[in-house]
Amino acid sequence: AQSVSQHNHHVILSEAASLELGCNYSYGGTVNLFWYVQYPGQHLQLLLKYFSGDPLVKGIKGFEAEFIKSKFSFNLRKPSVQWSDTAEYFCAVNAYSSASKIIFGSGTRLSIRP
Amino acid sequence: EAQVTQNPRYLITVTGKKLTVTCSQNMNHEYMSWYRQDPGLGLRQIYYSMNVEVTDKGDVPEGYKVSRKEKRNFPLILESPSPNQTSLYFCASTQDRGTDTQYFGPGTRLTVL
């Protein structure tokens, strides 16, 4: 069965620190990959997505993610975080074989100290 | 403004009392789905619909029903709610189920006593 793992459940950083959130998936075929963010009290919104082409994807608010097929990973990065990045981050994977289903990871809560 | 709306936003009910959570989108999307969000478990898909009158089970469908009589609406029905259905529920819609961005509603926090 397909699954998505986010090993960091809660990450605490100071402002201006660099961020990397891990995401690994289990599926050997072609995948579409997403990162969603949920700010406190708000609904989920898309940060970035990868379908094909350049494996380094840039999203909103200075976030980027790199798809490494050999490692089944799609880690989210930001060189310098801000207090406003405090949120919960979800990785999601859609496998071409089951186009109707998108599997979400369990989420990583990011807390930024001012 | 493109949006997905859900009602109610908050609901406290008792075991066994039937309830419906409504979901509506104004983007003419074909694909809609319901998720529940629980701490440590992320979002899990309950049901999805690929178009009017076409629905299918997601990962955790037990205890839920859905209907899709109109393209814009996708209500979630709990015929006999139980305490283990206490959760945060999100409705989402997208035009292309595999590749497009999902647009999420604001969420419905349900407590079943």
CA distance B25 to B72: 5
Confidence class for position A74, pLDDT limits 50, 70, 90 = very high
With vertex at residue A95, the alpha carbon angle to CA A92 and CA A96, rounded to the nearest 5 degrees, is: 140
- Percent of chain A, pLDDT > 90? 74
**A99: Cβ contacts below 8 Å, ≥ 6 apart:** B97, B98
Cross-chain Cβ contact B101/A90 below 8 Å: no
Confidence class for position B95, pLDDT limits 50, 70, 90 = confident
List, for residues A14-66, the tens digit of each pLDDT value: 999 999 999 999 987 888 899 999 999 888 999 999 988 999 999 999 999 99
Q: What φ, ψ does residue A99 adopt, rounded to 5°?
A: -60, -15
Average pLDDT, chain A: 91
Mutate to test the interface with B, among A2, A34, A88, A102 (most CBs of B within 10 A): A102
Set of chain A residues whose Cβ sits within 8 Å of the Cβ of B101 = 34, 46, 49
CA distance A95 to B98: 8
Q: Of the candidates B31, B97, B106, which has its C-beta nearest A43's C-beta?
A: B106
A28-31 own/partner pairs: CB under 8 Å, 24+ apart: A29/A95, A29/A96, A29/A97, A30/A95, A30/A96, A31/A93, A31/A94, A31/A95, A31/A96
pLDDT for B38:
92
CA distance B101 to A51: 11
pLDDT for A99:
56
Set of chain B residues whose Cβ sits within 8 Å of the Cβ of A42 = 106
Confidence class for position B99, pLDDT limits 50, 70, 90 = low
Query: Nearest CA to A78 among A86, B93, B63?
Result: A86
Q: Is there a contact between A99 and A86 (Cβ–Cβ < 8 Å)?
A: no
For the cut 80, the answer to whether the pLDDT of residue A103 exceeds it is yes
